[in-house]
Each structure stands twice: as structure tokens, then as C-alpha cells.
């Protein structure tokens, strides 16, 4: 029996190595905004949104209330596009819902205003058994080389279940709320500095 022990251990190790891990889940965001009668002016050019740290990549980030100073990454959840790219697309779509002339980074035409944003938070936060998607960004409008307004926008949405589709829907809701608040401020000529 002792002669078989090494072979049994190798066989078990081989089975463990051949067993596949959890399947990866790639989540997609498709923010949508309710269109209003578009204003002809001003025109906007949205710059690529900047992000740093873990939110600059495509892996899903989360924060547990037990360790609020630690941002962790899920092993099997990924975003189809980096969160900064999703926010860039959302800013373009949101502004297009209210203004007639809006271009994104793929078509950097001259415009009355340039929109420059930095993504600060794009993470799941869990506290007392409840999870929520949190999105926060800083944005500045620039015209003729001068900043004419800088604000901070954020939103959160509950994550009702662990499924990737449910998580993506919560992040989509949060990004839609934050961008809609920004677009509303632009249309009203105001600036918000939300405490996130």
C-alpha cells in the first residue's frame, strides 16, 4: 500500500490540474439616455476618460466593508471594455441626448467645449450583506483653453444578486444616473460637487 501512495497522490494532483476552474464571465454595459429636443449649441468634444489603479483595467473590482481600505479584484468577473471606456461612451451618449453636436475621442473635431473626465470609483461595495455598484468621476469643461466648470458626479445602485447580468445592470444604472446628473447640469449651466 505504501508503494501506491505516491501514485495516488500524483493521480489526485493530475485530476485537480485537469479540472477546470470557474468559468469567466464578461459583462457588458450599454448605457441609454432619454433624448430631449437637442440644443444646437454649444458643441462638445469628449476626451478619453482617464483612470488609474485597478479601475483602469477590465477586471471587476470590489471593496468589502470589513476592509474598506482594500480594493480587490474578482478572479472570474471581467468587463467587456475598461470602465473608463464605458464612461467615455456614456458621456458622449448622454450629451447627445440633449445637444446636437457631440463627438467622442474617435472623431476629435473642433468644438465649443471639451469635456475632460477622470474616473475615480467603479467598484462594488459590500456592507452588512448588501452590495451596491458605485461610480464616481470628476469632470471639467474647457473652452478656449480655460476651465469653465469642474464638478464631481457619482451614483450607486443596489446589486440584488451575484449573477454577472445583475451586477452589470446595477453598474449600468449607476453610470446612467451619474452621467444624467452631469448632462442636466450642463443644460442648466450649473456645476455639482457631489459628496461620494
Q: What is the DSSP letter of 106?
A: T
Tell me what percent of the residues of the chain surpass a pLDDT of 90: 74
For position 16, what pLDDT does the model report? Answer: 37
Q: Could you tell me which of 94, 82, 168 has the C-alpha nearest to residue 119? A: 82
Q: What is the pLDDT of residues 49-108, one digit of tens each?
A: 999 888 999 999 999 888 989 999 999 999 999 999 999 999 999 999 999 999 999 987
Q: Residue holding cell 482594500? A: 70
β 113-127/44-46 pair status = parallel
For position 21, what pLDDT does the model report? Answer: 54
For position 109, what pLDDT does the model report? Answer: 87
The residues facing 72 across adjacent strands are 62
Would you say how long the chain is, in residues? 196
β 59-64/113-127 pair status = parallel
For position 77, what pLDDT does the model report? Answer: 96
Q: What is the pLDDT of residues 152-189, one digit of tens each?
A: 999 999 999 999 999 999 999 999 999 999 999 999 99
Spatial distance between the Cα atoms of 178 and 94, rounded to a whole number of angstroms? 10
Helices (H), 58-163: 83-96
Q: What is the DSSP letter of 54?
A: G
Average pLDDT, the chain: 88
Spatial distance between the Cα atoms of 87 and 70, rounded to a whole number of angstroms? 23
The CATH code of the domain at 37-188 is: 3.40.50.10610
Amino acid at each position: 500500500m505504501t508503494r501506491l501512495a505516491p501514485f495516488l497522490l500524483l493521480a489526485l494532483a493530475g485530476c485537480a490540474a485537469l479540472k477546470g476552474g470557474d468559468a469567466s464571465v464578461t459583462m457588458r454595459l450599454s448605457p441609454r439616455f432619454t433624448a430631449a429636443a437637442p440644443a444646437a449649441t454649444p458643441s462638445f468634444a469628449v476626451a478619453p476618460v482617464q483612470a488609474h489603479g485597478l479601475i483602469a483595467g477590465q477586471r471587476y473590482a470590489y471593496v468589502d466593508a470589513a476592509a474598506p481600505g482594500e480594493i480587490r479584484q474578482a478572479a472570474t468577473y471581467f468587463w467587456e471594455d475598461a470602465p473608463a471606456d464605458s464612461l467615455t461612451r456614456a458621456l458622449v451618449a448622454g450629451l447627445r441626448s440633449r445637444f446636437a453636436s457631440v463627438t467622442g475621442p474617435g472623431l476629435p473635431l473642433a468644438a465649443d467645449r471639451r469635456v475632460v473626465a477622470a474616473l475615480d470609483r467603479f467598484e462594488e461595495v459590500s456592507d452588512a450583506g448588501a452590495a451596491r455598484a458605485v461610480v464616481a468621476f470628476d469632470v471639467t469643461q474647457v473652452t478656449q483653453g480655460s476651465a469653465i466648470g469642474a464638478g464631481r458626479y457619482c451614483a450607486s445602485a443596489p446589486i440584488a444578486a451575484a449573477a454577472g447580468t445583475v451586477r452589470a445592470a446595477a453598474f449600468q444604472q449607476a453610470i446612467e444616473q451619474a452621467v444624467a446628473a452631469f448632462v442636466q447640469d450642463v443644460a442648466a449651466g450649473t456645476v455639482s460637487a457631489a459628496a461620494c
